[in-house]
Structure 1
Amino acid sequence: MSLPHDLSIMSINARGLNLPEKRSQALRDFRNCKASVVFIQETHLRGDTHPKLTDAHYPTGFYSNHPTSKSKGTALLFHKHIPFVSKESLTDGEGRLLVVKGHIANTLYTFANLYAPNRAQHRFIATCLRKVMGFTEGTLIMGGDFNVPLSPLVDTSKGTASHPSHILRSIGRTLHTHRLVDCWRATHPEGRDYTFFSQPQQSYSRLDYFFMQHYHLHTLKTATIGTATWSDHAPIHITLTSQLYRPASFSWRLNDSFLANDSLIEDGEKVLETYFTENATPDVSDAVIWEAHKCVIRGHYIKKGAELKKKRATQISDLVRQISDTECLHKRDMDPAHLATLMTMRRSLSDLMNTLHHRTCLQTKAFFHTHGDKSGRLLARMIAKKRAATYIACVRDRKGRPQYMPPQIMTALRDYYKQLYSLPGPQTDKTRQTLLDQIQTYHSKHTTRKLSEIDAALLEDPITEGELSIALKSSQTGKSPGPDGLPLRYYKTFRTVLIPHFLKAFNALTRGETLPPQALMANITLLPKEGKDLTNCANYRPISLLNADVKLFAKVLATRLQPHIPNLIHCDQVGFVPGREAKDNTIRALQLIHEGRLSGRDFLLLSTDSEKAFDRVNWDFLFASLAHIGLGPQMQSWVKALYTEPSARICVNGVYSESFPIQNGTRQGCPLSPLLFVLSLEPFLSAVRQHSDITGPVIGTTQHKIAAYADDLLFFVTNPRVSLPCILSTFKDYGVLSNLKINFGKSNILSIQTTDAQYPSHLQQFPFPISHTKLKYLGIWLNVNPAENYRDNFAPLLITLQKDLATWNYTHISWLGRVAIIKMNLLPRLLYLFQTIPISLPKQFFSTLKSALIKYIWRGGTPRLRFDMLTRRKSQGGLAVPDFRRYHIASHLLRILDWSKSGVRKKWKDAEQAALKVPLAALPWLPPAQDKHHDITSPYTLATMAIWRLASKTFSLSTFPSPLLPIVHNRDFALGLQAGTFCTLFSTETPRVLHMLRNNSYIPLSELYNTRPPPFLLSFKYGQLRHFLRAIPQQHKLVRQLTGFEQQCMMPNPVAHGISYIYSLLQTAAADTPAPFMGRWEMMLGMPLTEPQWDKILDLTHHCSIASKVQEAAYKVLTLWYRVPTQINQMFPDIPPICWRCNEEEGTMLHIWWSCPILEPFWRTIHAVTSEFVDPPIPFCPASMLLHHTSISTRTYKRSVLVRILNVAKSVVPLYWKQIVCPSLKVWRSRMEDLHALEQLIFHATDQTELYTTIWSRWTLVTSTTSFKTIMSTHRD
Structure 2
Amino acid sequence: MCNGMNALSSTLPSSYRPISLLNVDIKIITKALSHRLEKIIPSIIHPDQTGFIKGRNSSNNTRRLFNIMHHSTTHNHNSIIATLDAEKAFDRVNWSFLIHTLHSFGFGESFINWIKTLYTSPTATVITNGQTSQSFTLHRGTRQGCPLSPSFFTIFIEPLAAAIRQNPLITGIQTPNMHHKISLYADDILLFMDNPKSSLQEVISVIKSFSLLSDYSINWNKSSILPLNTNSLAVAALTTPIPFCTSHITYLGIHISPRLSELINLNFTPLLKKINDDLQRWMNLPLSILGRIATVKMTILPKISYLCSMIPTHPPLTWFHSLDSSINKFYWKNKPPRVKLATLQKSKSLGGLNAPNFHHYSLANQLQYIYKWTHPTQSDSTWLDIEQTVSKDIHLSDLPFLSQTIKKHPCFQNPTISSALTAWWKFYSITNSTLAPSLFTPIWHNLDFISNKQSLYFSTWVEKGITHLKHIFNNNTLVPFSLLVQKFGIRSHQFLQYLQVSSSIQSSMKNKNINLDLPPLPSKLINIPSSKKILSKLYKLLSQADSTPSIPS
Q: Quick one: higher RCO (CA 8 Å, sep 6+), 1 or 2?
A: 2
TM-score (norm 1): 0.41
Aligned partners of 1:584 and 1:906 also within 8 Å:
no
Q: Does the 8 Å CA contact 2:346/2:353 hold for their aligned counterparts?
A: yes
Q: CA deviation at 1:1044?
A: 4.0
Displacement of 1:1024 after TM fit? 5.1
Instruction: Indicate conservation of the 8 Å contact 2:80/2:232, yes or no.
Output: no
Check if 1:984 corresponds to 2:466: no
How far apart in 2 are the matches of 1:600 and 1:1030? 42
Hey, what's the Cα distance between the residues in 1 that align with 2:295 and 2:75?
A: 45
* Matched-pair contact (CA < 8 Å) for 1:915–1:937: no
Conservation of the 8 A alpha-carbon contact between 2:344 and 2:353: yes
1:506-517 correspondence runs (5 A): none
SS in 2 for 1:607: strand
Deviation at 1:591, TM superposition (A): 2.5
- 1:375-425 CA distance string (max 9 Å, x none): xxxxxxxxxxxxxxxxxxxxxxxxxxxxxxxxxxxxxxxxxxxxxxxxxxx
One-letter amino acid matched to 1:820: A
Matched residue, 1:528: 5
Task: Give the Å deviation of 1:1015.
Answer: 3.4
Q: Secondary structure at the match of 1:1046?
A: helix
Shift of 1:997: 5.5
- The equivalent residue for 2:546 is 1070
Native 8 Å contact 2:405 2:447 kept in 1: no
> In structure 2, what is the Cα distance between the partners aligned to 1:821 and 1:757?
45
Would the aligned equivalents of 1:959 and 1:1037 in 2 still touch at CA under 8 Å?
no
RMSD between aligned residues: 2.5
Distance 1:995 1:891, change over 3 A: farther
Give 1:758 shift: 5.0
Q: Look up the match of 1:901.
A: 375
Change over 3 Å in CA distance of 1:878–1:648 after alignment to 2:
same
Contact 1:872-1:881 at 8 Å conserved across structures: yes
Q: Structure 1 874/1018 Cα, relative in aligned 2: closer, same or farther at 3 Å?
A: farther
Scaled by the length of structure 2, what TM-score is found?
Answer: 0.91
Contact map agreement 1:871 1:881 (CA 8 A) in 2: yes
Partner deviation per Cα, 1:959-1006 (whole Å, 9 max, x = no partner): 31222211222133358753644443338xxx4323555666678436
Contact 1:901 1:1054 (8 Å CA) reproduced: no
Aligned twin of 1:544: 20
Match of 2:309 in 1: 835
1:814 counterpart (288, 301, 304): 288
Q: Secondary structure at the match of 2:25?
A: helix
Where 1:915 maps in the other structure, the secondary structure is: helix
Contact 1:1005 1:1022 in 2 (8 A): no
Evaluate the alpha carbon distance shift between residue 548 and residue 1016 of structure 1 in structure 2; reply closer, same or farther with a 3 A threshold: farther
Return the alpha-carbon distance in structure 1 between the equivalents of residues 27 and 495 of structure 2.
64
Q: Equivalent residue for 1:682?
A: 158
User: Match of 1:965, SS?
Assistant: coil
Equivalent pair of 2:402/2:442 in contact (CA under 8 Å)? yes
State whether structure 2 residue 215 is matched by structure 1 residue 731.
no
Q: What pairs with 1:17-36 in structure 2 (closer than 5 Å)?
A: none
Code of the residue aligned with 2:27 in structure 1: it is K
- Residue 772 (structure 1) aligned to one of 243, 246, 270: 246
Partners of 2:236 and 2:244 within 8 A in 1:
no
How many angstroms apart in 1 are the aligned matches of 2:104 and 2:463? 39
Tell me by how many angstroms 1:590 deviates: 2.2
Alpha-carbon separation, structure 1, partners of 2:287 and 2:476: 56
Q: Which residue of 1 aligns with 2:172?
A: 696
Task: Specify the alignment match of 1:1005 in structure 2.
Answer: 484
Q: State the alpha-carbon separation in 1 of the partners of residues 262 and 118 from structure 2.
A: 48
CA distance in 1, matches of 2:41, 2:445: 36
Aligned pairs (5 A) from 1:240-251: none
Deviation at 1:920, TM superposition (A): 2.3
Amino acid at match of 1:809: M
Deviation of 1:687 after TM superposition, in Å, equals: 1.2
* 1:460-859 correspondence runs (5 A): 524-532=1-9, 534-755=10-231, 759-762=235-238, 765-859=239-333
CA–CA distance in structure 2, aligned partners of residues 1019 and 636 of structure 1 = 66
Distance in structure 2 (CA, Å) of the matches to 1:572 and 1:650: 36
1:839-893 per-position Cα deviation (integer Å, ceiling 9, x unaligned): 1322210111011011000111111111111111222211111111121122111
Whole-Å separation in 2 of the counterparts to 1:896 and 1:936: 14
1:606·1:749 contact (CA, 8 Å) conserved in 2? yes
The answer (yes or no) to whether the contact 2:284–2:333 under 8 Å persists in 1 is: no
SS in structure 1 of the partner of residue 192 of structure 2: strand
The amino acid across from 1:775 in the alignment is I
In the alignment, structure 1 residue 947 sits paired with structure 2 residue 423: yes
Call closer, same or farther: CA 1:656–1:773 in 2, change over 3 Å: same
Q: Match of 1:545, SS?
A: coil
In the alignment of these two chains, the number of paired residues is 543
Superimposed CA distance per residue, residues 1157-1198 of structure 1 (whole angstroms, 9 cap, x where no aligned partner): xxxxxxxxxxxxxxxxxxxxxxxxxxxxxxxxxxxxxxxxxx
Q: Secondary structure at the match of 2:125?
A: strand
1:525 is aligned with what amino acid? Answer: C
Maintained 8 Å contact 2:220/2:241 = yes
CA distance in 2 between partners of 1:903 and 1:968 (Å): 24
Give the structure 1 partner of residue 336 of structure 2: 862
Number of the residue aligned with 1:925: 401
1-structure distance, mates of 2:532, 2:478: 33
1:915 aligned residue: 390
Give 5+ residue unaligned stretches, structure 1: 1-523, 1078-1118, 1121-1277
Structure 2, unmatched stretches of 5+, are: none
- Identity of paired residues, percent? 34
Tell me if structure 2 keeps the 8 A contact 1:985–1:1008: no
Note the C-alpha offset of 1:592.
Answer: 2.1
For residues 215-253 of structure 1, the C-alpha deviation after alignment (integer angstroms, 9 at most, x for no partner) is xxxxxxxxxxxxxxxxxxxxxxxxxxxxxxxxxxxxxxx
Local SS of the residue matching 1:839: coil
2:492 equivalent to 1:1016: yes
Residue 1035 of structure 1 and its aligned partner are, at CA, apart by 5.2
Q: CA deviation at 1:787?
A: 1.5
Question: Letter of the aligned partner of 2:539 in structure 1?
Answer: Y
Determine the C-alpha separation between the residues in 2 that align with 1:939 and 1:701: 20
1:927 and 1:921, CA in 2 relative to 1: closer, same or farther beyond 3 A? same
Q: Following the alignment from structure 2 to structure 1, what is the Cα–Cα distance between the partners of residues 478 and 426? A: 31
**Secondary structure at the counterpart of residue 578 of structure 1:** coil
